[in-house]
Chains A and B, each alone.
Chain A
Amino acid sequence: MGASTPAPGSVGQVERQTARLFTASEPLHLANGDTLGPIDVAFETYGTLSADRDNAVFICHALTGDAHAAGFLPGATRPGWWDNLIGPGKPLDTDRMFVICANLLGGCQGTTGPSSINPATDAPYGLSFPLLTVADLVEVHRALIHHLGITRLLAAFGGSLGGMQVLHWGLSYPDEVANAVVIAASSRLTAQNIAFSAVARRAIMDDPGFAEGDYAAQGLNPDAGLAIARMMAHITYLSEDALTEKFGRQPHQADNVPGFGIDFAVESYLDHQGQVFLERFDALSYLYLSRVMDYFDPFAAPDALDAVTAHPVKWLVMAFDTDWRFGTEHSRRIARRLELAAQPVTFREIASPWGHDSFLLVVPDYHATISAFLDRALTEVQR
């Protein structure tokens, strides 16, 4: 499928753009006091920015996402990761909205991250890359929208770690975000959440191929560790019922001989998820971005609600009833805290069998809710 014959509702062929938003002489000031520069950011845009620049929606991606949210890159047969949501006539309607998605700071899909070359040393940063926070990710997003000539978003929009960025953005710069959509996110990871991250990181760091983070320079890669991290994460992304429905206890092959190989279909699925992940994701980015989530606790600051109290943002907070990674209670906590600041908050728990992954899937009630919220948002700015 190419640009000449886009599927109905597809944005068609898209291209990845890159912008240098910070330099060595004008670096990003990180929340921890460090500086970082240069920073290049890979991003894509869909739709057209209105003359009044009031129809921009910024997609914040999750832990392992990238800038390619919709449409088809040249030669590709599979669309971007949120193509079911973004396109003409879809809930993020590119006939009316200008949609931006950028790879996160610390990522590995075109934006500066720990495996990028540090120009000061001509070698990958490795573990000398500074620790990041959600605030730092958002500062880079802000620099990008300013670069694109946008001062106020119609909406910031994201699921999981993406929702955490939206939450921070809305709380910290409410005058830049008219509407904030926070999906299957958390304002504070639980011990169980951190525990899963800890095991993933340990799998990566204890892999001999990790080489203290110097694997790229030494021609190595912690393949086993990164694949295990991904396999385990995938279990947390799906509900027990979803795994049962997808795989049950089906054997991987009909003439299976019991052993310690891939005997069950679910094992084959996880193995495949781990292997394809190696082709697109970097182990250091996994460490850095998972750590970002562990420390996120935006309501802990005593003045957390001050800015948004003065400049209310319209919030849509959504959870999925079978999500056990960031269950409904995480989203309720967000909604409740925002309530304390008298914010206009819409909260929904959506019924879906698919667990945390639901936010990436077509769940009709979920998409109808987004459409209703964004249609109203667009009507409000354009009337």
Chain B
Amino acid sequence: MSLRPELALLAELIPDSARVLDLGCGSGALLEHLITARDCRGTGVEIDHDAIIEAIGRGVPVIDLDIDTELDHFADHSYDVVVLSRTIQTLRRPADVLRQMARIGDQLIVSVPNFALLRNRLRLLGGRMPMSRDLPYSWYDSPNLRFTSLVDLEELFAAVHLRVERRIVLAPSGRPARSGQALANLFGAAAVYVLRA
């Protein structure tokens, strides 16, 4: 089974045999890989019915709950790793969710599309809302409620007392960007953060 590049990158950041909570797990591809190939145990959280049923069929345990309001379901420090993959921009209460993640897990992995990518800035200057591989939706059908640059996101991490252990900036191809970290906010289409409280 081949994971799409970003999920493969996330999987590499997760230790073997870890207990992993994947918030917004979709159809469970990452967890299926971790469970079958990496000896991990894990749980996904999802609210989309079709995605849940697909994940169940893959043998991925899924809890049907609202990430914004119902993470109290999980006990303190009950997971080694909590993943929030391309989901933070869809949340109503991202700061609360990050605090909950820090309560539930030891290591947090957050990936996010970068609204401030140069290409997006140019499109906005041209008078159009950004659309790209990482932001594929029209404004009227987007699940994304919040748009953040990497710089703004890192301020939020600091505000909720999360330390960035590692940051991997992704090029529009979905692979790690070659460009310097200093220009990440301009040339990174997305980024993956490894965080700890």
Contact = CB atoms under 8 A, between A and B. Distances in A.
B57 A372 contact: yes
Interface in B137-160: none
A376 B60 CA distance: 10
B64 A376 contact: no
Contacts of A276: none
A342 B56 contact: no
Contacts of A332: 73
Contact of B75 (A339, A346, A347): A339
Interface in B1-53: 19, 41, 43, 49, 52-53
A315 B63 CA distance: 11
Contacts of B64: 347-349
Given A369-B53, A372-B53, A376-B56, A346 B62 contact: yes
B58 interface: yes
A55 to B, nearest CB: 17
Interface string A324-339: 0000000010011001
A120 interface: no
Contacts of B78: 339-340, 342
A340 B75 contact: yes
Contacts of B19: 342
A314 interface: yes
A345 B41 contact: no
A316 to B, nearest CB: 8
Contacts of B43: 339, 344-345
Interface in A75-123: none
A372 B56 contact: yes
A345 B52 contact: no
Contacts of A196: none
B74 A339 contact: yes
Interface centre among B59, B61, B65 (most CB of A within 10 A): B61
Interface residues of A, number: 23
Contacts of B65: 347
A332 B70 CA distance: 11
A376 B57 CA distance: 5
Given A314-B61, A339-B74, A340-B78, A373 B56 contact: yes
B61 A346 contact: yes
A339 B73 contact: yes
Given A339-B75, A340-B75, A348-B64, A376 B58 contact: yes
A380 interface: yes
Task: Classify the interface of chain B: helix, strand, loop or mixed.
Answer: mixed
Contacts of A315: 61
Contacts of A15: none
A345 B56 contact: no
Interface in A230-255: none
Interface in A348-383: 348-349, 365, 368-369, 372-373, 375-376, 380
Given A332-B73, A348-B64, A376-B59, A342 B41 contact: yes
B120 to A, nearest CB: 37
Contacts of B49: 365
A375 B57 contact: yes
B58 to A, nearest CB: 7
Contacts of B75: 336, 339-340
A383 B65 CA distance: 32
A280 B153 CA distance: 65
Interface centre among A316, A344, A380 (most CB of B within 10 A): A344
Contact of A347 (B54, B59, B63): B63
A335 B63 contact: yes
B105 to A, nearest CB: 13
Nearest to A337: B75
Interface centre among B43, B53, B64 (most CB of A within 10 A): B64
Contact of A348 (B52, B54, B59, B74): B52
Contacts of A339: 43, 73-75, 78
A48 B114 CA distance: 56
Given A336-B73, A339-B78, A365-B49, A345 B57 contact: no
Contact of A368 (B53, B58, B61): B53
Interface in A37-78: none
Nearest to B64: A348
Nearest to A347: B63
Interface of A: 314-316, 332, 335-336, 339-340, 342, 344-349, 365, 368-369, 372-373, 375-376, 380
25 contacts: A315-B61, A316-B56, A339-B43, A339-B74, A339-B75, A339-B78, A344-B43, A345-B43, A346-B56, A346-B61, A346-B62, A346-B63, A347-B64, A347-B65, A348-B62, A348-B64, A349-B64, A365-B49, A368-B53, A369-B52, A369-B53, A369-B56, A372-B57, A376-B56, A376-B59
